[in-house]
Amino acid sequence: MNTKEQRYAQFALVREMMETPGIIRNFKTKDLARPIQSLKKTGKMFLTGEGSSRIFPAKNAIYTALKRNTPLSIHTEGSRQAAELNLSGYTLFGASNSGKTKEVISLFHAKKDSPKFGLTANMKTPLEEVCEETFVLDCGKEDAVAATKSVIEQGLFYHKLLLELEGSKLPASALSELADKAQQVLELPIPKNIADALSKSPILYFAGRNNGAAEEATLKTNEITRKKSAYLEGTYAVHGIEEVMNPNEVVIVVDPFKEEESKFKEVLVDGVGMSVVAISGRETMFPTVRIPTMEGFDGYLQLMACWNLLVEIGISIGINLDKPVRARKIGNEFIQ
């Protein structure tokens, strides 16, 4: 993306994406003492929300906690499914940019005995009324329908919470490094052969780790490019779905497992005749969008690389990135 060019700069979506490095660099929160005290007492954390407020922030947090062997039981589900679960003994966190998401508020009304904390981009919302404490993001209002900068700040909130629970910190130096690398990723020119292949594909499959990045990009594909998409966790792409894939389709593999590259080539490229594109910090055997890496923070950079690809597709096929026909900013609004 190049905001010096009008074809990019005209869209609120692009401008909000390009605000993300600054949001990362200046990231801060209120004192996290109350949720940390609750988590130390319960030892169990449940993250909920709908759509983009849950997919990347929650799954990145779970992946981070497991990589670090954080002594915490941590789970996520959408709020309607969560309402069916016995969450006694869990500390609940609900993320809703609007603070008005009906499913989250209904769940928190129902789980009266659980400690509950909210994460939103707005003040004085219905979410605040059902939480012990609500944390407000600094990213500001998003004009585009597709949530972008808020997703990264939500991810950083949970990341910082997990580190402080361990007695660690999220230092300014790490935020500065991540901000610099985020800028690189967002401004990275997308090779024409990759952009053309993606623009022509009727469906975009995303494959990769269950850390939220590829799955969140799958949702963003619908909102930004108006194309159909599917998330194929891990190596699911080569375990049966190839039966219904077609040569004019594309799989985007986010940070492919090196040990599985040859199998992807055998099954998808050689077998189906389709294209495979990789987003990776290293060269792969596929056309690759090379991005910088940062231990412990790669998911953020991978997601922003996906944003860059999707914007390029949207502009290539000539759609208005800010105005989808049916998608809404608030999926299901709570009405008091």
Q: What is the 3-class SS of 308-326, one letter each residue?
A: HHHHHHHHHCCCCCCCCCC
User: Could you tell me if residue 50 is inside a domain?
Assistant: yes
- Sequence-distant (≥ 6) Cβ neighbours of residue 298 within 8 angstroms: 255, 281
148: containing domain? 28-169
Q: pLDDT class for 3, splitting at 50, 70, 90?
A: confident
In this structure, the strands spanning 250-254 and 116-120 are unpaired
Residues 34 and 153 in one domain: yes
Residues 132 and 195 in one domain: no
Residues 225 and 311 in one domain: yes
User: Could you tell me if residue 329 is inside a domain?
Assistant: no
User: Could you tell me if residue 212 is inside a domain?
Assistant: yes
User: Could you tell me if residue 9 is inside a domain?
Assistant: no
* CATH code, domain with 282: 3.40.50.10490
pLDDT tens digits, residue range 61-81?
999 999 999 989 999 999 999
Which of 124, 140, 169 is a domain's end point?
A: 169
- Structural domains in the chain (count): 2
Which of 132, 147, 169 is a domain's end point?
A: 169
Residues 147 and 202 in one domain: no
Are 39 and 187 in contact by the 8 Å Cβ rule? The answer is: no
Q: pLDDT class for 231, splitting at 50, 70, 90?
A: very high
User: Could you tell me if residue 331 is inside a domain?
Assistant: no
Residues 60 and 161 in one domain: yes
β-sheet bridge partners, residue 119: 95, 135
Residues 157 and 216 in one domain: no
User: Could you tell me if residue 32 is inside a domain?
Assistant: yes
Residues 248 and 137 in one domain: no
pLDDT tens digits, residue range 118-175?
999 988 899 999 999 999 999 988 888 888 999 999 999 999 999 999 999 999 999 9
Residues 143 and 46 in one domain: yes
β-sheet bridge partners, residue 208: 233, 254
Compute the average pLDDT of residues 249-275: 97
What pTM, to 2 d.p., does this model score? 0.95
- Say whether pLDDT at 318 is over 60: yes
Residues 86 and 156 in one domain: yes
